[in-house]
Structure 1
Amino acid sequence: MVKITRRSVLMTGAGAAAMLAAPGILRAKSYATQPVRLFVGTAAAGSNDLVARLIAGPLEAMIGQPVVVENRPGGATTLAVGLVANAKPDGHTLLVSSAAAIATYVASVTKPPSLVDDLSHVAMICDGAFIYAVHKDVKAENTRDFISLLKSSPGKLRYGATGTGGGIHLSGALFQQKTGTEMKVIQYANAGMRLTDLLANQTQLGIAGAAVLAQQINSGALRPLFVAGTERVNLFPNVPTGAEEGIGGLEGISNWFGLHGPKNMPPQISADLHGMVQKALEDAKVKEGLAAAGFFTTPGPREELVTRLETDTVLTKDLVKTTGIKIE
């Protein structure tokens, strides 16, 4: 299982030490009367899990009840969406979502619970671009070389994803569409299996959050090509963006995360939680932890999350239609 570096340290922000870990975060008058369950739609040690555990500590300090992160992988994040959608809308059951849940819903033939339509939307937490990196033995020193290699042998090189129609799958599909190239996608049950095959050169291209591939890039096992965002990332300031390499529009699929509750959650509870998230995003430990993982905080009104959900849905529908990606 692949673990993000420093995760064990970041987890100490939760639990009884939360108040000490977040000085300056004051406990608000809380709605909570029992522990709060914070669901994550992926296994432990991924980016979604990291983000949830980072904000759990400050939220716990403000709510005044334990905030327990529960990993419920399944259905490419839709299992967790469904569990929260069917929970009592009293603020005791929440979800840290990722963009993958939108893609999964749009690409599904039989529709699972919808992140957009079946939940309340509280706040954006953070955003981050995918980084593209190739195995060290791939004969491509840069993005231009890689595109030429793909065009010389269409369909022979492979990239790994975790979930048909998920963010990584769609990012790779969008890259192929933008560059006129062809690759084969290999689906994996989790990020650990995906990385194992990438390091063994069973797949040649890795697409992931910057922190997920940081150790392997720094060791020379992988060679970074570009960042699929509008700005370079702090972890790899010398790695250009896709736009700098002549591939615009890849930033439309990014590695963002938000907080949600069941639909029809009382407006005051949603407002209280939104305020708590804003305070949590001001905490130095949260900022440092997210930056170390290649993310930046996205404080702002609830409407920014709603807008992101809407724009991602439109983009994903167009991409699914043109590529023919389906989840049966």
Structure 2
Amino acid sequence: MNETARGSAREQIAALQARMGETIIGQREVIERLVIGLLANGNLLIEGLPGLAKTRAVKAMAKNLEADFSRIQFTPDLLPSDVTGTEVYHQAQGAAEFRFEPGPIFANIVLADEINRAPAKVQAALLEAMEERQVTVSGTTHKMPPLFIVMATQNPIEQEGTYPLPEAQMDRFLMKVEIVYPPVEDEVEVIRLVRGEEQQAQSGGGGEKPPVIPQQAVFDARVEIGQIHVAEAMDRYMADLVQTTRTPAALSEDLARWIEIGASPRASLALDKCARAHAWLEGRDYVDPADVRAIVHDVFRHRVSLSYEAQGDGIGTDQVIDEIVKLTALP
């Protein structure tokens, strides 16, 4: 295993988490999920009410990592070419040609802000780039950089002027991370943090910034995560959890009433990737049930469709997942 220039991959990723924690108060679990998404080489959907630091969390990661960052503000009038880029006609010294001008999708960390405000064609263009890691324009294929992750945000309460993502497109996100209101003690710290940042900006200070975390630390961490041991019993446990979402009547009448559509095989693959990344962050070289249970809500949250009966009874997706975990036998 290659060591990065300034320490091991584990030390570098721990430093990245710590620096993000200095900027995002009281959202330790959210920070951990963003890092897991980065290490598992997947894309994340981040949902939360306005003002809960969704954008700030993604920017904090990009600021402390050796990475190109781009932010796309999704609006109803956005075009696919505004995201992917387009061919532009150039003419100079008597010669003329079409050249590809890359769009904002060609970055290491892409923040797709309020993704549900863009029409279906734009959403499809973004999700194609996420899935294929490439964009084809005028018959020419353009590859994404080796380090590439899309973190899309959406607001759960606004309906006017939004275009909800279809279930099949939601399934392409590795995890759906929910951000909730902070406790009052953390909100006090947020007030002080932002006030301090404003004072620092006005004084022109800030001191010397620590060096950014190199991309190689992420690639080295992914190699180590690929070597995490997963027992056969754990493979079966993850598959059983997914199977419960598809055949809920076998375990519970309530689950049968609540679940309309179960999770796809992508859920099993996501459980495996995220559980291994979680185990690595915990310093273990094997996956145990605690790793799976730690991330199962984020993996299932956007993949399990609830029935109208569940919604009428006020049953939320996380409550259904709690029941799935409770009823599925441990290995």
TM-score by length of 2: 0.28
The structure that has the greater radius of gyration is 2
More helix by share: 2
Say which structure, 1 or 2, has more relative contact order (CA 8 Å, 6+ apart). Answer: 1
